[in-house]
A and B are shown apart, each in its own frame.
Chain A
Amino acid sequence: MPLSDSFYPEGSDGGPCLRGSRCSECGTVVFPKMPVCPSCLCNGVMAEAGIGRTARLFSHTIARVAPKGFQAPYYQAFADLPEGPRIFTLIGSECPIKEGVLRDGMELRLIIEPLAETPENRDVLAYKYVPAGKDRADA
């Protein structure tokens, strides 16, 4: 699905959220949305759900090379959403890129910002996570 369809900049609570789907049969939540539940294999039972306002950092690294449209160095990460999915994500640009700033297990919050500060992607909005609350990088 297009990147712009994978999130709402302003969800029901006014803040951003990801557009996942939840199975009405078994409760499995997935992101991005799917028409079939990958757990119980029921079709037509997935309903859209606003998810991922917060997350917990599962793993992260700093990439020192970049494909076209991205600038190295940049963070790459996997995050666990409280609703269940474990997703690939980028880290917001407010977070300084150096070893020790991020810790696996730390709390994150969702932000929406340009995918990358490159001619190809500066006008493309994307979902990313940044350290939340007391885990704020600048705290």
Chain B
Amino acid sequence: MREVAIIGVGAHPSGQFSGKSLKEIAHTAIWNAIEDAGIGPRRIETAYVGNSIGGLLTGQEGVRGQVILQHSGITGIPVVNVENACASGATALRGAWLEIASGAVDVAVAVGAEKMFVGDTARSISALASVSELDLSEMGMQFTTVYAIHPKINIKKKMSDYGWSLADLAKPAVKNSFNGSLNPLAQHRRRLSMDEVVNSRVVVDPLTLYMCSSISDGAAAAILCPAEAVSRYSSRKPIRIASCVLRSGAYRLPGDTAPDSATIAANQAYEEAGVGPKDLGAVELHDAMAPAELMLYERLGLCGLGEGPRLIDEGITTLKGSQPVNPSGGLCSRGHPVGATGLLQIAELVWQMRGEAGERQMEQPPKVTMAQNQGGLLLGQDSAAYAITILKQ
């Protein structure tokens, strides 16, 4: 396998863009990435396009990738449509990475795009629910519920097991809203106080409104080439993909004591990249509901059981800390246009590593970073897709 580098990234801001279609939103991200790399669009040899619920919400059920790319002037090349729920973006990246790592092509683009505002919020929520196995969604199960009471997360139970308070659950939302307030691409740019998060209306007990990511339109893209050939294509400082791991959930029987699938994926990614949790200079992780960030600290090996709130209290995961988490603002603040999220995470980490993240730039550009993206839910009590990417300077 060849080592692969990211030479260009681009994004469309996240938020409500009622006058824009899915392909228009994607166009901004794709061409920002092309121009960022400084590469001619004809050099792109293959594309992986991630989108999750565009079929249900826009009616374009098939060939969304080709439709999106044609609108951006990219035609004729092999296009692979990627659907992997909220992990569609990271899964698209992995496809492009494999194409280059295997030697099949030299330049590939990974795109993630989602259009969730369609003028009917209940329809958007239903479409989102459908990325769970149908047996669950037709019974009215929602993702907020999954985070609140699902056996594999069960924030409610963590409150009693760990003694976490509502204020503890709110800490990631408060921290990330500050990061998002500095990010011009973020959907929600208002800095939230602890009182505002704790006292916002309850969506699904114990989760309040400001602890939940909202529906969003957005897109991101990345251009990849072999690390050894970067100078042939781009003058940008290359960011290397040290590992790119994808797993599906396991069937969990009650009493199953095996490690969480996010942990299994992270451990594989650490091993392949030859680094450990302490080496990470920044992390973008999947805080679809803010308290999930506390759980993911544990699962990615950043702290021990129940210690999540301490990482924020001590400033370790804040923007000025030693291991900033979600410098972009994360899913709750930057936004969660589901099929785009995985690549929005990658774009943020690339900007931070290059020192191009504007007002939210970390003091020292990080040398090693991780993106953690996951999505969907199966009857077997696990998420459907788990993706971990580790980047190196």
Contact = CB atoms under 8 A, between A and B. Distances in A.
Interface of A: 1, 3, 6, 28, 32, 38-39, 58-70, 74, 76-78, 80, 84-86, 88-90, 99, 115-116, 126
A3 B133 CA distance: 12
B129 to A, nearest CB: 5
A67 B129 contact: yes
A63 B379 contact: no
B154 A59 contact: yes
B141 A88 contact: yes
Nearest to B212: A65
Contact of A67 (B125, B150, B201, B254): B125
Given A59-B154, A62-B205, A78-B149, A115 B142 contact: no
A84 B252 CA distance: 12
B251 A63 contact: no
Interface residues of B, number: 34
Contact of A86 (B135, B157, B381): B381
A66 B142 CA distance: 8
Given A67-B126, A69-B126, A84-B254, A115 B140 contact: yes
Contacts of B251: 38-39
6 contacts: A59-B149, A62-B204, A64-B201, A66-B122, A67-B140, A76-B140
Query: Nearest 7 pairs between A and B by C-beta?
Result: A38-B251, A59-B149, A67-B126, A76-B145, A70-B140, A68-B126, A86-B254
Nearest to A36: B251
Contacts, number: 94
B203 A89 contact: no
A59 B229 CA distance: 54
Contact of B379 (A28, A32, A65): A32
A65 B142 contact: yes
Given A63-B204, A67-B126, A88-B139, 13 more contacts: A32-B135, A32-B379, A39-B251, A60-B149, A61-B156, A65-B125, A66-B125, A74-B140, A76-B204, A88-B141, A90-B140, A115-B139, A115-B140
A69 B137 CA distance: 11
Given A3-B138, A65-B125, A86 B204 contact: no
B202 to A, nearest CB: 6
Nearest to B136: A88
